Amino acid sequence: MTTIDTRSPDAGSYEFHVFEDEHAHDDAAEHHHETGTMLGFWLYLMSDCLLFGILFAVHAVIGQNYAAGPSPADLFEIEKIALATAFLLLSSITYGFAAINVQQNNAKVMSIWLIVTLAFGLGFLYLEYLEFSHLWHVGATPMASAFLSSFWILVGTHGLHVTGGSIWLVILLVQVQMHGLTPENKRRIMCLSLFWHFLDLIWIGVFSFVYLAGVLL
């Protein structure tokens, strides 16, 4: 909003003319005029970003203290990480397609894309479960070394976020089934969209830093 005041020559008082921001007309998306939920949710994501940043910093500091235990090169199977990365990246683009159909009020197509997204998300979680249970069975538990402590907490926190996002996705699918694409449901779907893409972004840091660089160092 831009406010311009002009002194009217005769009365000697101020008149206020209020103009709408041009940009607000451009994208005319209703959430801009809503409650600010999207901005609030964005600020939550930024705080979550700091949480992950601290976990990355911890891993940078203690991630090479193997305490005579296994090192990343002994433990990680990069082929499986590549597959998990592909799942998460595919789930990001399918969520994008769902978000486009939200704008077009196409509840049916949107639900299909959300189900595809959920399938990729669950595929990612299954691969992570296989990896963690394998590590546990070979004795690479969080208690084994400083490296494994920070590895489990960092990758585990990301995995918990994806689990939370998947549960949220199921709840939203039920909500849309029950009430259709109401403004509230649209807003929730756009919040989860930010959350889901954000998790994919964090995963870039995880596979680059923890897995790829870990195996080489």
Partner 1 sequence: MSADTDNHASHDNHAHGSYRSYFIGFVLSVILTAIPFYVVMAEVDISLLWAMVIIFGLGAVQILVHVNYFLHVSVGAEDGWQFMSLLFTATVLVIILAGSIWVMFHLHENMMPAHDTIRRVRDLQ
Chain residues in the site for partner 1 (CB under 8 A): 21-23, 26-29, 32, 38-39, 42-43, 46, 49-50, 53-54, 56-58, 60-61, 78-79, 82, 85, 89, 92-93, 96-97, 99-100, 102-103, 190, 193-194, 197-198, 200-201, 204-205, 207-209, 212-213, 215-217
Structure-token pair, residue 99 = 């978000």
Instruction: Decide whether 8 or 47 has the Cβ nearer to partner 1.
Output: 47
**Which segments within 30-79 are labelled E, that is strand?**
none
Instruction: Decide whether 15 or 34 has the Cβ nearer to partner 1.
Output: 34
Instruction: Decide whether 122 or 194 has the Cβ nearer to partner 1.
Output: 194
Instruction: Decide whether 33 or 137 has the Cβ nearer to partner 1.
Output: 33
Q: Minimum CB separation from partner 1 for residue 212, in Å? A: 5
- The span from the CA of 40 to the CA of 51, in Å, is 17
Q: Minimum CB separation from partner 1 for residue 62, in Å? A: 8
Instruction: Decide whether 11 or 18 has the Cβ nearer to partner 1.
Output: 18
Instruction: Decide whether 28 or 178 has the Cβ nearer to partner 1.
Output: 28
Q: Minimum CB separation from partner 1 for residue 8, in Å? A: 29
Residues with Cβ < 8 Å from 131, sequence gap 6 or more?
77, 80
* CA 194 to chain CA centroid, nearest Å: 6
Q: Minimum CB separation from partner 1 for residue 31, in Å? A: 8
Q: Minimum CB separation from partner 1 for residue 11, in Å? A: 33
**Contacts for 115-123 with beta carbons within 8 Å, 24 or more apart?**
115/173, 116/91, 117/91, 117/169, 117/196, 118/166, 118/169, 118/170, 118/173, 120/87, 120/88, 120/90, 120/91, 120/94, 121/87, 121/88, 121/91, 121/162, 121/165, 121/166, 121/169, 121/196, 122/166, 123/87
Q: Minimum CB separation from partner 1 for residue 13, in Å? A: 29
The 8-class DSSP code of residue 89 comes to H
